[in-house]
Amino acid sequence: MSALRPNPPMAMLAELTHRCPLACPYCSNPLELERKERELTTDEWKDIFSQAAEMGVLHVHFSGGEPASRRDLEEMVAHARDVGLYTNLITSGIGLNKRRLDALNECGLDHVQLSLQGVDSEMADWVGGYKGGFDRKMQVAEWIGEIGFPLTLNAVMHKKNFDRLDETIAIALDMGARRLEVATVQFHGWAAKNRAALMPTREQAKQARLTVNAARERLEGVLVIDYVPADHHSDYPKPCMGGWASTGINVAPDGAVLPCHAAHTIKSLTFDKAHEKPLKEIWYDSDAFNAFRGFDWMQEPCRSCELKTKDFGGCRCQAMAIAGDAAATDPVCIKSPLHGELVRQAEADAEADADLVYRVMPT
Ligand code: SF4
Ligand code: SF4
């Protein structure tokens, strides 16, 4: 990747709204959630999808919050398909019924990614903070199967459910999912507030890897399992977003364009709005998108490290959160001077017994 001229993004995450019937304590949405009045209009979103397709974006992921909270979801999906984008709906399923799913099918929706809050109603309704949510989700999964949407099941794993990973895999099979994303909780947004309630133990993280590997072998050709490992129990960081502003572009409900969903935590950067400036200009020319492209911004030990072309120094938002400097080495890295402190804190959180703090919309 050249620091001067990046390729266009491949995928757009369109966060249509922060509204959601659920209240998951690990939600990646920011603590300051946007109210409905600040959301972009249907026409503004449609224009953004047209611009995205024109500049070379291939996929759009309709996300939120719960994208089905927008009554114009079907119209936006239809438009995105019309301009040639592959459309994926990321949903909890709550807010969808058979009529809306049929309408989305007619609009050409290509794929559904359904989230799973737990393996039974007791756990799922507790984690999602929504009574009856599990039963409704199971009904939605059945309709998804009847219509024939290709399905990915997304399960956020943490201290309170890692020991039920086998059951999670079984549910993905029962639903007829093609892929299962076993995503260890990432501590951004509401999850950062819930570290002591959600941080898995080192032993859980180790066991999860063994379970995933065994299931991958057993289910080859039946179910693909993607695995996002536990950052805080790793020695090296993940190549976050494949490098800053290199493959993906996010648009928040108020139109702010970000290189990833947590980038707003880097307060030194100003993020332009998609309805105020052309998307192309934001992607190629804005200071925020160019801030961490290439390698010139790096400090030691990343600057002279042979792994920098593989992990790009890790996650900028995590560096900001823990080191207080978005250009620092991600403290997950064993070479970071803050790695020992990160491990100590993670172990303390993993041993703690804290209650869930639910995500709440402003009133
Ligand atoms: S993580 Fe939970 S609360 Fe957040 S958008 Fe998804 S379903 Fe809603
Ligand atoms: S020093 Fe930087 S580039 Fe090297 S492994 Fe650690 S995070 Fe990656």
pLDDT digits (tens, 9 = 90+) for 250-290: 999 999 999 999 999 999 999 999 999 999 999 999 999 99
Q: What is the reported pTM?
A: 0.95
The secondary structure of residue 190, as a DSSP letter, is H
Share of the chain above pLDDT 70, in %: 99
Instruction: Say how far apart CA 269 and CA 266 lie, in whole Å.
Output: 6
Q: Which residues are CB-contacts of 287 (< 8 A; sequence separation ≥ 6)?
A: 269, 270
127-155 burial code (b ≥16 CB/10 A, e <16): bbbbeebbebbeebbebbeeeebebbbbb
Q: List, for residues 8-64, the tens digit of each pLDDT value.
A: 999 999 999 999 999 999 999 999 999 999 999 999 999 999 999 999 999 999 999
- Write the DSSP symbol of residue 250: E
d(CA 74, ligand 1 centre) in Å: 20
- Ligand 1 atom with the smallest distance to the CA of 359 is 3
Cβ neighbourhood burial of 5 (10 Å; 0-12, 13-18, 19+): exposed
> How many angstroms separate the alpha carbon of residue 232 from the centre of ligand 2?
15
Q: Which residues pair with 257 in a beta bridge?
A: 251
**Segments in the chain below pLDDT 50:** 1-2
Among 13, 18, 24, 89, the mutation site with the greatest number of ligand 1 atoms within 8 A of its Cβ is 24
pLDDT of residue 362: 83
Best residue among 300, 312, 322, 335 to mutate for probing ligand 2, ranked by most atoms within 8 Å of CB:
335
Distance, CA of 251 to CA of 19 (rounded, Å): 15
Show the beta-strand stretches assigned E in the chain.
11-15, 59-63, 86-91, 111-116, 151-157, 179-184, 224-228, 248-251, 257-258
Closest CA to 350 of 193, 201, 203: 201
Cα–Cα dist 258/247, whole Å: 12
27 ligand 1 Cβ < 6 A: yes
Cβ count within 10 A of residue 294:
16
Euclidean distance between CA atoms 313 and 292, whole angstroms: 10
Mutate to test the pocket of ligand 2, among 244, 329, 342 (most ligand atoms within 8 A of CB): 329
| Atom 3 of ligand 2: nearest residue by CA position | 308
